[in-house]
């Protein structure tokens, strides 16, 4: 069942229920009015008959001519019937209990099938009489039946009107949805730049279209980034492969001495190591971009990770100079602990240390830790070449490299990977750089945070 049909049925049932309740209320209230009105007529007839009987006049039968099966009976204190207006009409039988209640002053209204009666007392000359006026309210029931038919047929006719109106209303209400569906069908990977047109403003459908457009914008950015990533990765992988292939072909062109073969193999090994480093970095970037729930979060000490990253780099590059300082001391050892993935955090710290040393003439970087209430800050400062202001906005994009560092070996993946890792740990990364003076990268982590449970956006803005 589609939404339009379901809305039509719900609307029709709702209105039908309200109208049915309204009709039943009218019918019930009118029936109450009829009973009260007919009962008042019977009371008047009974009182008139009793007074006429008290003055010695007979009760005229013509007074009840408008009441079908009308009958007035009077009983004395011995429950003997002393008056019966219409001997041929049925008599309303009374029980001793009812007669006793009436003599005590109660007015009793009764009904047997279609026959209604009013039982009341009449007191005169210290004599108490029980007067019974009964009859069939033909005109009242006729009007009630007519009202019932009018309400029933009116309710059925209204149902048809409401159903048609509900169908038209649902169609009009869902027309923007149908338009959005048709527009969405035309959007694919080849024209993902296309957006939904927002018709009506300030309603739920317009907000849905805006949200969908925002999602398309994110998807388009992801597709563009993926395309750029694949293009750059292919280029970076093709270069060492081309070098290796040319070295192999040149080496095989003629027989060479063992020393020449050894030199060629050494160059090939360097190219292979370069490819391995690139592939490992790509794998780390893919892992950092995976769902955060698949990562192994556990308590880790930041100072130990910094020393571990420093040791890894010095093993690989003994000439690097890396200093770790504490600007302020934490209040307790717990302030040094973060919930995170040990391997990823170590990789991020190692990337920042390596960048500081790689792009500094003196191959040195200074790492400082500072603490504030519920916050930890790490600064990676170097005295290197700096980053041009035009390049800072793109420095966290994969494979992007500043113009003044193109001569230095690298792939432009380190900062992109680091930014993603910091985002996964609810941290912030900012960068300040001055040409020919150096660059400072600042990491800020909230302390005592719960384990991250959702994947954060890749493109965290760098300050």
Burial class of residue 389, CB neighbours in 10 A (0-12, 13-18, 19+):
exposed
Give the model's pLDDT for residue 440.
92
Q: Is the pLDDT of residue 279 over 90?
A: no
Kindly state the helix (H) or strand (E) to which residue 386 belongs, with its residue range: none
> For the range 144-149, what are the long-range contacts, defined as Cβ-Cβ under 8 Å and sequence gap of 24 or more?
144/27, 144/30, 144/31, 144/34, 147/26, 147/27, 147/30, 148/27
Q: How far apart are CA 138 and CA 115, in angstroms?
A: 10
Note the pLDDT tens digit of each residue in 43-74: 888 888 778 776 666 555 544 455 777 778 88
Residue 435's SS3 state is coil
Q: Can you read off the two tokens belonging to residue 8? A: 């039509």
Average pLDDT of the segment spanning 373-399: 84
Q: How far apart are CA 422 and CA 445, in angstroms?
A: 8
Q: Is the pLDDT of residue 80 over 80?
A: yes
Q: How far apart are CA 198 and CA 457, in angstroms?
A: 26
Q: Is the pLDDT of residue 365 over 90?
A: yes
Q: How far apart are CA 446 and CA 171, in angstroms?
A: 51
Class of domain 204-285: mainly alpha
Give residue limits of the domains in the chain.
3-143, 204-285, 292-446
Q: Can you read off the two tokens belonging to residue 359? A: 């792009």
Contact assessment for residue 340 and residue 300, using Cβ atoms and an 8 Å cutoff: yes
Residue 81's SS3 state is strand
Q: How far apart are CA 79 and CA 127, in angstroms?
A: 12
Q: What's the pTM?
A: 0.49
Q: Is the pLDDT of residue 406 over 70?
A: no
Kindly state the helix (H) or strand (E) to which residue 373 belongs, with its residue range: none
Q: How far apart are CA 444 and CA 446, in angstroms?
A: 7
Q: What is the CATH number of domain 292-446?
A: 3.30.565.10
Note the pLDDT tens digit of each residue in 295-346: 677 888 898 999 999 999 999 889 999 999 887 777 777 778 888 888 888 9
Give the residue among 418, 416, 422 at the shortest CA–CA distance from 340. 422
Q: Give the list of residues 6+ apart from residue 54 with CB closer than 8 angstroms, or none.
A: 122, 124
3-143 domain in CATH 3.30.70?
A: no
Work out the mean pLDDT of the chain and round it to a whole number. 80
Backbone angles phi, psi at 381, to 5 degrees: -115, 135
| Polymer length in residues for the chain | 463
Contact assessment for residue 322 and residue 365, using Cβ atoms and an 8 Å cutoff: yes
């Amino acid at each position: 069942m589609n939404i339009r049909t379901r809305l039509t049925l719900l609307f029709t049932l709702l209105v039908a229920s309200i109208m049915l309740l309204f009709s039943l209320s009218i019918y019930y209230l009118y029936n109450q009015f009829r009973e009260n009105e007919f009962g008042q007529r019977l009371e008047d007839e009974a009182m008139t008959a009793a007074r006429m009987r008290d003055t010695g006049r007979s009760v005229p039968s013509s007074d009840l001519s408008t009441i079908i099966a009308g009958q007035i009976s009077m009983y004395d204190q011995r429950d003997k019937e002393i008056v019966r207006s219409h001997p041929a009409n049925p008599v309303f039988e009374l029980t001793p209990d009812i007669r006793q209640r009436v003599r005590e002053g109660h007015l009793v209204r009764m009904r047997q099938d279609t026959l209604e009666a009013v039982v009341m007392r009449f007191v005169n000359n210290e004599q108490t009489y029980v007067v019974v006026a009964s009859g069939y309210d033909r005109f009242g029931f006729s009007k009630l039946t007519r009202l019932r038919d009018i309400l029933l047929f009116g309710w059925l006719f209204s149902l048809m009107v409401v159903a048609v109106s509900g169908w038209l209303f649902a169609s009009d209400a869902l027309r923007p949805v149908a338009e959005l569906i048709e527009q969405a069908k035309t959007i694919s990977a080849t024209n993902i730049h296309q957006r939904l047109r927002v018709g009506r403003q300030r309603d739920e459908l317009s907000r849905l279209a805006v949200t969908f457009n925002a999602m398309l914008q994110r998807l388009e950015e992801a597709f563009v980034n993926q395309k750029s990533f694949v293009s750059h990765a292919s280029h970076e992988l093709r270069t060492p492969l081309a070098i290796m292939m040319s070295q192999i072909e040149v080496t095989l062109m003629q027989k060479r001495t063992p020393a020449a073969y050894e030199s060629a193999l050494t160059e090939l090994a360097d190219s292979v190591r370069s490819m391995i480093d690139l592939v490992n970095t790509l794998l780390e970037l893919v892992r950092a971009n995976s769902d955060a729930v698949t990562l192994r979060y556990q308590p880790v000490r930041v100072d130990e990770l910094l020393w571990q990253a420093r040791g890894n780099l010095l093993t690989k590059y003994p000439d690097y100079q890396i200093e770790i300082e504490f600007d302020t001391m934490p209040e307790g050892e717990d302030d040094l602990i973060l919930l995170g993935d040990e391997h990823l955090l170590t990789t991020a710290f190692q990337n920042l240390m390596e960048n500081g040393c790689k792009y500094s003439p003196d191959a040195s970087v200074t790492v400082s830790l500072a603490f504030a209430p519920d916050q930890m800050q790490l600064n990676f400062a170097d005295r290197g070449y700096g980053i041009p202001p035009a390049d800072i906005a793109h420095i966290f994009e994969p494979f992007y490299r500043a113009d003044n560092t193109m001569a230095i070996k690298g792939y432009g993946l380190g900062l992109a990977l680091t930014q993603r890792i910091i985002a996964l740990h609810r941290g912030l990364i900012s960068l300040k750089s001055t040409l020919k003076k150096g660059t400072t990268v600042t990491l800020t982590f909230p302390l005592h945070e719960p384990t991250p449970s959702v994947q954060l956006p890749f493109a965290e803005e760098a300050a």
